[in-house]
Amino acid sequence: MNKKSKKIILTIVLVAVLGILAKPYFFPNEKAFAVTPKPYQAFKQAMENGQPVFLEFYASW
């Protein structure tokens, strides 16, 4: 690999890292994932509004 391609790769990596680190400062209003206290009501409301629903469940078998 020559010096020019190494510089390009390094620049891309640095921009990506800075973008990831700066995201919370540019988008501070994003809601964090939280457990829904009344899941059936939230599901019903999401279906009525046409919003996507993410279901996560587990079992300890």
* pLDDT tens, position by position, 12-57: 999 999 988 887 777 766 666 677 888 889 899 999 999 998 887 7
CA dihedral 3, 7, 13, 14 (to 10 degrees): 140
Separation between Cα atoms, residue 33 and residue 43, nearest integer Å: 15
pLDDT of residue 19: 87
Separation between Cα atoms, residue 54 and residue 34, nearest integer Å: 12
Cβ-Cβ contacts under 8 Å for 47 (sequence gap 6 or more): 53
pLDDT of residue 30: 62
Residue, of 59 and 2, whose pLDDT is higher: 2
> Nearest 5°: CA angle at 38, between 31 and 49?
65
